[in-house]
């Protein structure tokens, strides 16, 4: 036969009332005494918070005696209430004395008191000094530059060495991955590089011819376009376009892989993410940039020829 036991609500209520935190207050000869008893934990201190606030508002006492010998159990919540009471009377200039506390209670009260009354080591803030703030800003920028440089060297070293750090593999360089990245970042960038370089070459030739026409030196527009494109603008424009097109694509791709935890999956199967993801792309950029620069130079010269011819 199944017997259902009913919950004894009255017994649990009596048990809760027995362990309820209590504080007994007495005053004699200018000495205010508070005797604490019961369980002072997070689950029970809410019942005595109002009484503690009433005690904090009392005045006229010269000393405050806190008796903790009858406390059965205490955590940081109970220690905070007692410390708040002691701090309130200390601010009024009243001497506070504790007695009967256990070793654990002393540790909790000390930790809570240090956390609550922790003050900044520096003095009160004075008026801002423009020179000091400028020096502080420069110092911060120098430290940030140092941190960025160290991070860059760390990434570069990990990239170069990362291809040899795959666990269980003797040859970590994957030619297929490198050629795939060359196709995506090099061959795929040819149309935009050719278009922009041809436009820049045509603009340089047109503006140069217009200005040199005042001196009757139109013929020197050929030298102007050749020197400017081959020495300066060709490689510069190519690097800028490659960084804007391929650099942002690399950042977005690796960022999405990190978000989908694919990088963690590579680590789980024993592969180094730097060697698998970063190294092929770096090699592809190193190989693709000179090739794209040559193509950009030819496109810019062709654009300059067309502009000068017309």
| Nearest alpha-carbon partner for 13 in 47, 55, 54 | 47
Instruction: Collapse the DSSP code of 94 into the 3-class scheme (helix H, G, I; strand E, B; otherwise coil) and give the result.
Output: coil
| 160 phi and psi angles, rounded to 5 deg | -70, -40
Task: State which H helix or E strand residue 300 sits in.
Answer: helix 279-309
159 located within any domain: no
The answer to whether 272 touches 159, Cβ cutoff 8 Å, is no
166 located within any domain: no
Statement to judge: residues 182 and 294 lie in one domain? yes
CATH code for the domain of 49: 3.30.750.24
Domain enclosing residue 217, as ranges: 175-309
pLDDT of res. 118: 62
Residue where a domain terminates, one of 71, 98, 116: 116
pLDDT of res. 147: 93
Class of residue 58 by CB neighbours under 10 A (exposed 0-12, middle 13-18, buried 19+): middle
pLDDT of res. 290: 93
104 located within any domain: yes
In Å, how far are 58, 155, 195, 258, 273 from 254, measured between CA atoms?
64, 14, 28, 6, 10
* Separation CA 239–CA 255 (nearest Å): 22
* Separation CA 61–CA 55 (nearest Å): 11
pLDDT of res. 235: 92
Signed CA dihedral, 121, 126, 129, 134: sign only:
positive
* Separation CA 186–CA 155 (nearest Å): 23
Instruction: Collapse the DSSP code of 70 into the 3-class scheme (helix H, G, I; strand E, B; otherwise coil) and give the result.
Output: strand
CB-based burial, 241-271: b 16+ in 10 Å, e otherwise: bbeeebeeebeeebeebeeeeebeebeeeeb
* Separation CA 169–CA 294 (nearest Å): 37
pLDDT of res. 168: 41
128 located within any domain: no
Residue where a domain terminates, one of 66, 93, 116: 116
Residue where a domain terminates, one of 77, 92, 116: 116
- Count up the domains in the chain and report the number: 2
Residue 159 is classified by DSSP as H
pLDDT of res. 271: 78
235 located within any domain: yes
| C-alpha 41: how far from chain center | 36
Statement to judge: residues 185 and 102 lie in one domain? no
Statement to judge: residues 180 and 285 lie in one domain? yes
Class of residue 50 by CB neighbours under 10 A (exposed 0-12, middle 13-18, buried 19+): exposed
272 located within any domain: yes
> How many residues belong to the chain?
310
31-40 vs 22-28, strand pairing mode: antiparallel
One pLDDT digit (tens) per residue for the chain, 310 residues: 333 344 444 454 455 556 688 888 888 888 888 999 889 888 888 888 888 898 888 888 888 889 898 888 888 888 998 899 888 888 888 888 888 888 888 888 888 888 877 655 555 555 668 888 889 999 999 999 999 999 888 878 877 776 555 444 445 567 888 899 999 988 999 999 999 999 999 999 999 988 888 888 888 888 899 999 999 899 999 999 998 888 888 889 989 998 999 988 988 888 778 778 888 888 899 999 999 999 999 999 999 999 988 7
Helix and strand element counts for the chain (H, E): 13, 4
140 located within any domain: no
134 located within any domain: no
pLDDT of res. 163: 57
| Nearest alpha-carbon partner for 278 in 184, 204, 209, 178 | 178
């Amino acid at each position: 036969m199944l017997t259902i036991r009913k919950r004894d609500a009255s017994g649990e209520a009596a048990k809760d009332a027995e362990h309820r935190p209590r504080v007994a207050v007495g005053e004699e000869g200018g000495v205010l005494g508070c005797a604490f008893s019961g369980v002072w934990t997070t689950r029970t201190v809410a019942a005595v918070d109002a009484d503690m606030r009433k005690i904090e508002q009392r005045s006229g006492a010269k000393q405050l005696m806190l008796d903790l010998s009858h406390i059965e159990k205490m955590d940081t919540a109970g220690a905070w209430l007692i410390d708040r009471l002691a701090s309130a009377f200390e601010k009024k200039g009243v001497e506070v004395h504790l007695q009967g506390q256990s070793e654990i209670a002393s540790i909790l009260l000390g930790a809570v008191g240090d956390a609550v009354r922790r003050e900044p080591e520096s003095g009160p803030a004075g008026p801002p000094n423009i020179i000091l703030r400028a020096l502080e800003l420069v110092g911060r920028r120098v430290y940030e530059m140092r941190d960025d440089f160290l991070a860059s060297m760390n990434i570069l070293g990990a990239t170069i060495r990362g291809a040899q750090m795959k666990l269980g593999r003797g040859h970590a360089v994957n030619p297929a991955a490198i050629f795939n990245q060359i196709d995506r970042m090099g061959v795929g960038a040819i149309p935009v590089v050719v278009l922009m370089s041809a436009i820049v070459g045509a603009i340089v030739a047109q503006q140069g011819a217009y200005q040199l026409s005042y001196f009757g030196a139109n013929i020197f527009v050929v030298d102007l376009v050749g020197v400017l494109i081959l020495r300066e603008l060709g490689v510069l424009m190519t690097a800028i376009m490659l960084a804007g097109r391929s650099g942002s694509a690399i950042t977005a791709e690796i960022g999405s892989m990190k978000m989908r935890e694919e990088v963690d999956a590579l680590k789980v199967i024993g592969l180094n993410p730097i060697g698998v993801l970063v190294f092929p792309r770096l090699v592809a950029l190193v190989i693709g940039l000179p090739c794209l620069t040559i193509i950009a130079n030819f496109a810019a010269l062709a654009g300059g020829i067309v502009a000068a011819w017309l």
